[in-house]
Amino acid sequence: MMRFGAVLSILLTSAAPLWAQASDDAPLSAIDWLSESVEQPRVVAAAPDLGTQATRTPDANEAPVADTATTPSVSVQTLGGPAPRALGLFSPAVMGLPDDLWSSSDGAVLGALLAAEETDTLPALQDLIVMLAISAANPPLEGAAPGSFFRARVDKLLSIGALEQAQAMLEVATPDTPELYRRWFDVSLLTGTEDTACRSLRVKPDVAPTPSARIFCLARSGDWSAAALTLNTGLALGDIDADTGDLLARFLDPELYEGEPDLTPPDRITPLTFRMFEAIGDAQGTRNLPSAFSHADLRQNVGWKAQLEAAERLSRDGAVSFGVLTSLYRARVPAASGGVWERAKAVQRLDRALENEDSGETLVALDALWDEAASLGLVVPLAKNYGVQLHAAELPARESALRWMLLSGDYEEAALREDFIALDPFLTSVARGTLTDETSALPAAFLIRAAFGAEPDQVLLDVARDGRTGEAVLRTIATLQQGLDGDRVAFGEGFATMRALGLEDVARRVALQYLLLE
Domain co-membership, 328 together with 386: yes
Q: What is the pLDDT of residue 30?
A: 54
Domain co-membership, 263 together with 352: no
Report if residue 403 sits inside a domain. Answer: yes
Report if residue 442 sits inside a domain. Answer: no
Q: What is the pLDDT of residue 86?
A: 85
Mean pLDDT value of segment 364-377: 97
Within 13 Å of residue 83, how many CA atoms lie on the same side as its CB? 2
Report if residue 156 sits inside a domain. Answer: no
Domain co-membership, 333 together with 374: yes
Report if residue 477 sits inside a domain. Answer: no
From 406, 423, 440, give the residue that closes a domain.
423
Alpha helices (runs of H) in 221-358, residue ranges in sequence order: 224-237, 242-252, 271-279, 304-316, 322-329, 340-355
Maximum C-alpha span of the chain: 96
Domain co-membership, 333 together with 267: no
Parent domain of 285: 209-289
**Domain count of the fold of the chain:** 2
pLDDT at 228 over 90: yes
Distance CA 317, CA 160 (A): 6
pLDDT at 122 over 70: yes
From 248, 272, 289, give the residue that closes a domain.
289
List, in order, residues 6 or more apart from 441 with CB less than 8 Å away. Answer: none
pLDDT digit string (tens) for 450-481? 999 999 999 999 999 999 999 999 999 999 99
pTM value is 0.85
Domain co-membership, 285 together with 339: no
Report if residue 139 sits inside a domain. Answer: no
Contact 429, 435 (CB under 8 A): yes
Q: What is the pLDDT of residue 259?
A: 84
Domain co-membership, 394 together with 330: yes
Which has more pLDDT, 207 or 234? 234
Report if residue 257 sits inside a domain. Answer: yes
Domain co-membership, 225 together with 321: no
Domain co-membership, 216 together with 279: yes
Domain co-membership, 318 together with 269: no
List, in order, residues 6 or more apart from 137 with CB less than 8 Å away. Answer: 86, 88, 92, 97, 98, 99, 100, 101, 102, 103, 470
Report if residue 407 sits inside a domain. Answer: yes
Does residue 377 sit in helix, strand or coil? coil
Angle between helices 445-452 and 504-517 (to 10 degrees): 160
Distance CA 157, CA 301 (A): 25
Sign of CA dihedral 28, 31, 32, 38: negative
Report if residue 40 sits inside a domain. Answer: no
Mean pLDDT value of segment 135-164: 91
- Total residue count of the chain as it appears in this document: 518
Which has more pLDDT, 3 or 367? 367
Q: Which of 462, 465, 458, 451 is nearest to 511 (CA)?
A: 451
Q: What is the pLDDT of residue 273?
A: 95
Q: What are phi and psi of 90, to 5 degrees?
A: -160, 160
pLDDT at 71 over 90: no
